Chains A and B, each alone.
Chain A
Amino acid sequence: MTEEIIIAGFGGQGVLSMGQILCYGGVIEDKEVTFMPSYGPEMRGGTANCIAIVSDEKISSPILTKFDTVIALNQPSLDKFEHTLKPGGLLIYEASTIINPPKRTDIDILPIEASNEAAKMKNIKIMNMIVLGAVLKKKPIISLESAILALQKVLPERYHHLIPLNKEAIEKGMELAEKASVTA
């Protein structure tokens, strides 16, 4: 199995930490991983994106143009990366802020109102973890346990008291994804 993912959004939405958690989770599960951030001018106060690859095999190119999963946290990211999804791939987007939904019909689309849910949970910063939960429900790239262990590695120690809240957010995302697939 090889899962090639692109995560995109505004700087500060937690795009890079989502990718790092997926990759660290992969390391914990003895998989091969590559995390490729954008480090150019766009990162310095604009859109940010990263490629995360988790695989059972040795990974070749960290540079990709087609993905198994696209995670879009804002409208420009959805517009930019919708067409990069492979047919049959999974597109998850943050539905509270994206007004123009995706148009493709050959892909699996899951809108998640992550910002609204995060606001209900009284911490807007866990929006990315709600989305991550939804991804992991649809595609168990790494287990929930590995994601929690990865949080301990990725988050600086001064934020470790927030791990239970992050876990709750991941579980919330999983719940939302499950509901969506039942209604769909």
Chain B
Amino acid sequence: MKKEFRLMKGNEALAEAAIRAGCDAYFGYPITPQSEVLEYLSGEAAKRTGMVVLQAESEIASINMVYGAAGTGKRVMTSSSSPGMSLMQEGISYIACGELPCLLVNVQRGGPGLGTIQPGQADYLQAVKGGGHGDYKVITLAPSTVQEMVDFVGEGFELAYKYRNPVLILTDGALGQMMEKVLLPELRPRKTEFEPWGSTGKTPDRERNVIYTLSLQPDVMEQWNQRLQAKYRIIEENETRCELIDCEDADYILVAYGLVARICQKAAHIARDKGIKVGVFRPITVYPYPYAELNKIADKVKGFMTVEMNAGQMLEDVRLAVNGKKPIEFYGRQGGMIPSPEDIFHKLEEKIIGELV
């Protein structure tokens, strides 16, 4: 059978992928530029699979509904954009502590404050270094195409259940709004089996499953933390993903994630047309971060430039990875502005190549 490609908007493709991933429930609250997720699901999902789609009274309510529903072992998700995501951080900390699986989506816009409705990447540190209180980690996937917006929904749920941990798709307003060719997965049935840990009512053959995040005994709470940390080390060992584009012979490397990684590819083409060998390093998971892979490249190249739609957040991870081996420069736009391929090439010439020849 010939595979059917469709032209879909990032947010709608993600919503369709959620239905097809057998998602049991979505709880959300509208905010530009991700409102199409809730809109799309409201129209189609309940009829097609019986999935629960609920517009909560706020983002705080949404994430706590996710917390409750995830506690039953069901496949649940929410999505929002930057200011809404900030409101959810307390709930995410509880979900991570309770070791519950769920899928979160942040279609980032420019900040801080209410900021702008145009795309941004300034929630990077919030996503990968914590966001809420306490020592916890959220597995964070950064799509760069509409197809990846689809693929990471299914993969995100897999990872969430594999590690009983929240998974975040960290994308931006441009990817949410743009349309590209997508191949959708087959419809997967909704989850009917119960998880042995799920809080679904006591049956005579087992003890009660209680999900809680509080311990007043510090030694117990420390052990709990150690268990979480051990899990994060396993995740770091096994789930790190990145894409290397034309890096084999490159003298200079642009490091970027998501949409910006694609703009950097065009900048690298411009450079190569002028005889300058430039490659692109794209982290696909931003937690866990591909430190080792980036460190390895540092041996072979002259320098790096990190490009982001923020003031230099992932830059901190690039510095940790490169560990002083080679110079690293930064170019960023903020407030909803998107760097162009030409801007990136000129900055690379000015900041790195100019310095090193």
Contacts and interface: CB of A to CB of B under 8 A. Distances in A.
How many residues of B sit at the interface, in one of the four size bands? Answer: 20 to 34
Interface stretch (B76-84, B208-216, B259-267): B259-267
A62 B117 CA distance: 18
A60 B179 contact: no
Contacts of B269: 60
Nearest to B182: A27
A68 to B, nearest CB: 14
B117 A23 contact: no
A33 B7 contact: yes
B178 A65 contact: no
A59 B177 CA distance: 17
A62 B259 CA distance: 8
Contacts of B173: 39
Nearest to B5: A27
B118 interface: yes
Contact of B342 (A20, A39, A65): A65
Given A32-B181, A35-B179, A37-B178, A64 B341 contact: yes
If over half of A's interface residues share one DSSP class (helix, strand or loop), that class is named, otherwise mixed; here it is: mixed
A65 B341 contact: yes
A44 B7 CA distance: 23
B266 A61 contact: yes
Interface string B176-187: 011111000000
A37 B339 CA distance: 16
A34 interface: yes
B120 interface: no
Closest 5 CB pairs of A and B: A61-B266, A60-B265, A35-B179, A61-B263, A60-B266
Interface of A: 20, 23-24, 26-27, 32-37, 39-40, 59-66, 153
